[in-house]
Amino acid sequence: MIEIRLAGAGETAALVDCHLACWREAYRDHTSQAYLASVARGRSDRIAYWTTKIDNGTAPWLAVADGEVIGLAHAGPTEDADLSPGLELFMIYVRAAHWGTGVGHRLLEATIGDRPASLWVLAGNERAVTFYLRHGFRPDGAEKLHAGFRRPIIRMVRGSS
């Protein structure tokens, strides 16, 4: 059984390890192994970041199976001035072994439900783009360069974010 719930204190290492594993699985064909390794070297900074978020009451949602974190999602006020105020889905990741099982849908529902929102996704990441299209998001034409990937990311919106 997979439980969807907010992360609690003391779970930051597990959620960061899941996040890093998801990055390796989702982006291995989209970026260099060197970049993925550099992201992993920031593990302790990520643990500190999420500890602060959880302590401040802005915990991410987790998907947990048999005590193991297998997915995570987080949303909050948009960082895009042209959409402010609005809701932004900052991330949703699921371990590859659970792709296509509905875990991503359940995390999306827990995090933003059916509310209007925006998100940024790596251009060419067809698995992610298709997922968001199925959930009512559409590209709005905004694009920027992701410094780490050195590739464009595109903005997708649903409703009036």
CATH number at residue 83: 3.40.630.30
pLDDT reported for residue 93: 96
Per-residue pLDDT of 124-155, as tens digits, reads 999 999 999 999 999 999 999 988 878 899 99
Q: Which of the four pLDDT bands, split at 50, 70 and 90, describes residue 56?
A: very high
pTM as predicted: 0.91
Helix (H) or strand (E) holding 47: helix 43-55
pLDDT at 63 over 80: yes
Q: Which of the four pLDDT bands, split at 50, 70 and 90, describes residue 95?
A: very high
Give the domain range for residue 96. Answer: 2-158
pLDDT reported for residue 26: 87
Q: Quote the CA–CA distance of 62 and 141 in Å, as a whole number.
A: 30
Q: Which of 147, 150, 102 is nearest to 124 (CA)?
A: 150
What does the block give as tokens for 85?
Answer: 């105020």
